[in-house]
Each structure stands twice: as structure tokens, then as C-alpha cells.
Amino acid sequence: MRLEIGEQPEALRRTIGSLTPRIGELEKLAARTRQVLFIARGSSDNAAVYGRYLVESHTGRLATLAAPSIATTYRRRIDLDGVLAVAISQSGRTEEIVETLDWAKACGARTVAVTNGQGSPLAESADVALLTEAGEELAVPATKTYTTQLAALSVLGAGLGADVDLADLDRVPDEIERLIEATEASESLALIVEELSKVQGVVVSARGLAFGTALEVALKLKEACYLHAMGLSYADLLHGPIAVVDETTPALVLGVEGSPVLEGTAALAARVVGAGARAYGIGGGSELAGASSLALPGPGLPEWTAPLALVVPGQLLVEKLARRLGINPDVPRGLNKVTQTGA
């Protein structure tokens, strides 16, 4: 897992370089569509959450997450004329995702696949396949396949007319290299690992474009460290679940400098600390760090590309925490690289 975290900058360079020339192809495919339907599970579903926020905040199109059981179990036909269906799967071989994309096409949608599986059933099924260039990923917890998915979704957003500067995307690999070094050099990393090694549960929270990152870090803490990790928007957290945050259940709070939701993110961290619990910040600059008990650095990127790098300190934290707990993060119990959920 640690090796593959370090491979992300080069994987992203390859992926961004191969996919940005296809923006025109995506523009043509999406020309007759008005909204986007994301189809995914697991880490890919967390990538889809980023895709949804990017599409809605930067293109003005409605985007939503599919419920695959509507296709695979209930087998209901839905009018998807004018919909761009985007299926995301690291392997491209998860039968439920392939079947749901085929269903979307039969219902009238245009289709896109985002996958690391060249020649996979998902790639072959889609009108356009955005193949990521992550290379083989051996650790069960997704790292480089996840961040290259985010890169593909960034390119998709540009193809849908997002008001963004593609130069920001080109900066991501170098920023991740810097962030890996800065995170591992941070004294806070070992301190947070030690404190988390003594708890059984943690709340992971963010909002907006960083929300998918919070969900992904929570998933990694569950699968690689066996913690009861709850990923929540801070807006939802404040509606009641914040009651679980106490001296034995800390909060991991993620933010992005310059984001319109950063003020609320920092306020959440301050509230947690004020209630006698521990709050660990990732990103958000001095504003979030100042409100947190301990903090890890975040990327110096605009909000639309920040999630590609913001997840990296979380990945490093998870890998080191798993080792501290005596767990091999590469092969979590009960998990396989390709998950078949069936109908």
C-alpha cells in the first residue's frame, strides 16, 4: 500500500496526459445530454461523489448517484433519454456495474466508463471508455486507482463544460509528491497514529468537493484498520450524530483552503475540541489547523482539483495506523480486489 501511494504522481501524470486530449470526444458525446448519472460501488462510489459535486458546482448540470439494484434486482425501466451515465469501476469486471451500465444504455442513456481495466467488459460496453493509467494495483485498499479515477472525472467535468483551468490539473502530480514528503515529515502524523491506535471509532467529516474524500478515508479506516469509522458531511453531523463524538471517539476533519465551506469546517473542529474531544485536521490551511487538536498538511490546489491530493495524507495515516495496530493493510480480512455484489 505504501509503495502504491508513492506511485500516484506518476500514475496521475500518465492518466492526465492520456485523457485530456479526449475532452473534445466527451463534449461531442455529452452534447445531447442534460444530466449525469454515476454508477459505482465502494471507493469508486466515493469518487462518484466527487464527480457529482464537480459536475453540479462547475457545469450547472444535475448529477446523481444510481441505485444499481433498480437495474439488477427490481429490473425497472426508467426513461434516461438526455442522461449521460458514467460507470466507475477499478477493474471494469464487477458484474453489477457492467449490468447497470448496459441497463442505462437500454433505457436511452449515453454511456461513459471510467476504469483501470483495459479491454474489460465495462470498457467494451461504454460509448466512451476513459482508461486510467494506474498500472497494476496489488494492495486491496485502492490508492492509485482511486486518485486516477478522480483525474478521469476531472477530465469528464472539463468535457461537460466546467469553468476550470486545466493547468490546475497538471499541477496535481507535483503537489502530491510534495504532500507525501510534507506529511511524513510532520510530527503530527505519528501523534495522530498513536492516539487513534487507542480508540475503536472515529468520525470523518467534510463538505462540498471534499466530502467524497471524507467518505474514502472513512472507508480506508474501516477496511485496513478495522475501526468503526463514520463518514459524514459536517452538515449531517451537526443534525444529531455529533452526539457520538466524545473523549473516546475523535473526529477527523478535512478541508480545502479557499473553499466556501472552509469556515464551517473549521467551526466544526473547534466545536469538537470545545466539547472535550480530539479533532484532527487534514488540509484547510492555518484556519483548520488552528481549530484542531493536531493537523496534517493539505494541498496548495484550487478546490476543484484539491480532492485528488487531499486524500493522500489520509492514505498515509491509514497505512501507518494499520501497521501500528499489527494489521497488514495490503490484505484486509474478508476482502478481495474485485468485489461481486450480485443482484
Active-site amino acid positions:
337
Give the integer Cα–Cα distance in Å for 122 and 102.
Answer: 9
Give the integer Cα–Cα distance in Å for 173 and 185.
Answer: 19
Residues in Cβ contact with 320 at an 8 Å cutoff, skipping those fewer than 6 apart: 189, 190, 193
Residue 319: count other Cβ atoms within 10 Å of its Cβ. Answer: 24
CA angle 328, 117, 24 (to 5 degrees): 130
Q: Where are the alpha helices (DSSP H) in 107-186?
A: 121-125, 144-159, 166-170, 172-185
Residue 220: count other Cβ atoms within 10 Å of its Cβ. Answer: 30
Give the integer Cα–Cα distance in Å for 210 and 311.
Answer: 9
Cell of 3: 509503495
Give the integer Cα–Cα distance in Å for 166 and 156.
Answer: 12
First to last CA, the chain: 31
Residues in Cβ contact with 336 at an 8 Å cutoff, skipping those fewer than 6 apart: 140
Give the integer Cα–Cα distance in Å for 157 and 209.
Answer: 13
Contact (CB, 8 A) for 308 and 147: yes
Give the integer Cα–Cα distance in Å for 189 and 287.
Answer: 19
Instruction: Determine the residue type at 271.
Output: R
Residue at grid coordinates 444499481: 68
Cell of 80: 434516461
How many residues are present in the chain?
Answer: 343
